Homo-oligomer: A and B are copies of this chain.
Amino acid sequence: MPAPLEPRYTLKDVVDRARVAISTASLVFSGKRPVAEPTRERVLEAAADLDYGGPNPLASSLQQGRSGIIGVFAKGRLMNSFSDPFAVSILDGLAQHLGQNSAGILLMPAQGAGQDELVRRTAGIPLDAVVFPLGGYVSSALLEHLRHRRIPLVGTGYPEADDVLHLRMGERGAARAIAQHLYDLGHRDVALIQLPGAKPNAQGDVMNPEALDRTAGFLEVFPDALVITAGESSSEGGYEASERLFSDSHSVTAIAAQSDLMAVGAVRSIRAHGLSTPADISVAGSDGIDLPWLVGTLTTIDQRGQEKGRTIADMVTSALAGTRENREHSFTLVQGTSTDAPPQHAHA
């Protein structure tokens, strides 16, 4: 059995022992103004004697009106959000940059819990700002709660609202670029594997609004593209969607997926049918994740997730400093070895 925890002392206890004013002791720990060395030492010594753990963050935060905590909203369950390396890379950039500004990241999974439940949980947590780095649907009750608390909100396009700062990427233009690339290679019969949640669910909520933009951009170039919606944005989701294509014996020379993970699934599916990429069917993705184990490289829209995370972090710190402004995130069309001109004779 582990040892029980000893009682926790406060700055008051330290002060009693060191025989200094509490205001002076406070300065020793914050370092905000100079303290004579002997005094400083007396305080530090008393603190050491008591095993004082430093000023209670709850108390100093209350005073300073800032908790140092940034909420990060993850749509659905963590396992779903974080199974995508792209999401993790955004989070990584976010954590790194925010950490440098000594702020911590608090995960807010939307998982299971009803709207009221989610609000109740959030209400108890001190938050300086909340970030929606992964897009997706956010319950209006939660949004309303955060608004009431006057918490700066930063998103990547969604939720759409005037009071949410956005780092926008131009999903539509990016999707158009991929489509145009395929078109320029000579493809005419193409399929688009769409992210799940593009259509309103039973409650009328669109889970992945960015999917709509991506689809719209793609259809600008290929109005007749075959659109299939994947069950989930994963390799399996892409595989399964691609299989549907084969079983309906559609004839396409290229498949564009709205995420790299789904694109990988499509490549596997093509291979499983004895065909190859890009010789028989070209495949393009979207996001720009590392896929070291893929044979060749994927043609995709590189969004540089880490940089995206860093920019979001920057928007947060700026907003807390008083500068609230939207930004634009650029993308790059990366031409990999997964796309090429279509074969002379298209096949089933």
Q: Which of A58, A79, A147 has the most CB of B within 10 A?
A: A58
CA distance A292 to B109 in the complex (A): 24
Q: Is the CB of A68 within 8 A of B324?
A: no
Number of chain A residues close to chain B: CB under 8 A: 73
Q: Which stretch of A46-54, A133-141, A209-217, A339-347 is in the interface?
A: A46-54
Q: Is the CB of B121 within 8 A of A53?
A: no
A307 to B: closest C-beta gap in Å: 13
Q: Which of A85, A123, A292 has the most CB of B within 10 A?
A: A123
Q: Is the CB of A104 within 8 A of B125?
A: yes
Q: Which stretch of A160-168, A193-201, A275-283 is in the interface?
A: A160-168
Q: Is the CB of A91 within 8 A of B78?
A: yes
Q: Is the CB of A92 within 8 A of B77?
A: yes
Considering the complex of A and B, which 7 residue pairs feature the smallest CB-CB distances, nearest first? Answer: A53-B148, A53-B149, A79-B92, A8-B150, A57-B126, A58-B62, A78-B92
Binding site for B on A (CB under 8 A): 1-8, 51-54, 56-62, 67-69, 71, 77-79, 82-83, 85, 88-89, 91-92, 95-96, 99, 102, 104-109, 111-113, 120-121, 123-127, 145, 147-150, 152, 162-165, 235-236, 239, 265, 268, 292-293, 324-326
